[in-house]
Amino acid sequence: HRGRKQVVNGVERFGVSMAPDLLSRFDEVIAARGYTNRSEAIRDIVRDYLIEQQWESGEGEVIGTLTLVYDHHEHDTMEQLTALQHHYHEAILSTLHIHLDAHHCLEVIVVRGSSTDIRRLADKVITTRGVKHGKLTCTTTGQDLA
């Protein structure tokens, strides 16, 4: 189909074949999320996918947030997490700590560094005993994403 490639005003249009059921489910979900058209939704999904790929391929610098919930009474979780954060202080820009209830703490750690370092830090934090849930979300400055 390369012969039919047409770029108008900096965008290229392309057709996508999809089963009607799949497409109508997609339309429902994107409408509920506030998208006014499919193109906008698909662009966001493609960017998200590319960021994820870039990050998983282990190349370059990543920026992200590491979100975790733990019980500060359990084990020595707090001490372990503090030690880890000091060890990786160069990769940590900021830490937000919220006391959720009598037992639970929510921590959001903003990270920036090589994807290898960030992944290693995230794995250590998430697997620390006492951490009930942990998730790393990575993003980029988007310089190479239109």
Decide: helix, strand or coil at residue 106: strand
Per rule CB under 5 A, is residue 73 in the interface with Ni ion? Answer: no
As a whole number of angstroms, the distance between CA 122 and CA 75 comes to: 19
CA dihedral over 22, 55, 41, 1, signed as positive or negative: negative
Pick 73 or 135: Cβ nearer Ni ion: 73
CA dihedral over 55, 91, 133, 69, signed as positive or negative: negative
Per rule CB under 5 A, is residue 68 in the interface with Ni ion? Answer: no
Per rule CB under 5 A, is residue 99 in the interface with Ni ion? Answer: yes
Cβ contact 66:122 at 8 Å:
yes
Amino acid at 72: H
Judged by CB under 5 A, which stretch of 16-24, 52-60, 93-101, 110-118 contacts Ni ion?
93-101
Token pair belonging to 10: 């900096």
Instruction: Report which of 80, 57, 83, 82 is spatially closest to residue 130, judged by C-alpha positions.
Output: 80
Pick 107 or 115: Cβ nearer Ni ion: 107
Task: Say if strands 11-12 and 104-114 run parallel, antiparallel, or are unpaired.
Answer: unpaired
The least distance separating Ni ion from the CB of residue 99, rounded to whole angstroms, comes to 4
Judged by CB under 5 A, which stretch of 5-13, 31-39, 100-108, 122-130 contacts Ni ion?
100-108
Per rule CB under 5 A, is residue 62 in the interface with Ni ion? Answer: no
Pick 51 or 107: Cβ nearer Ni ion: 107
Per rule CB under 5 A, is residue 105 in the interface with Ni ion? Answer: yes
- How many residues belong to the site for Ni ion (CB under 5 A)? 2
Interacting residues toward Ni ion by CB under 5 A: 99, 105
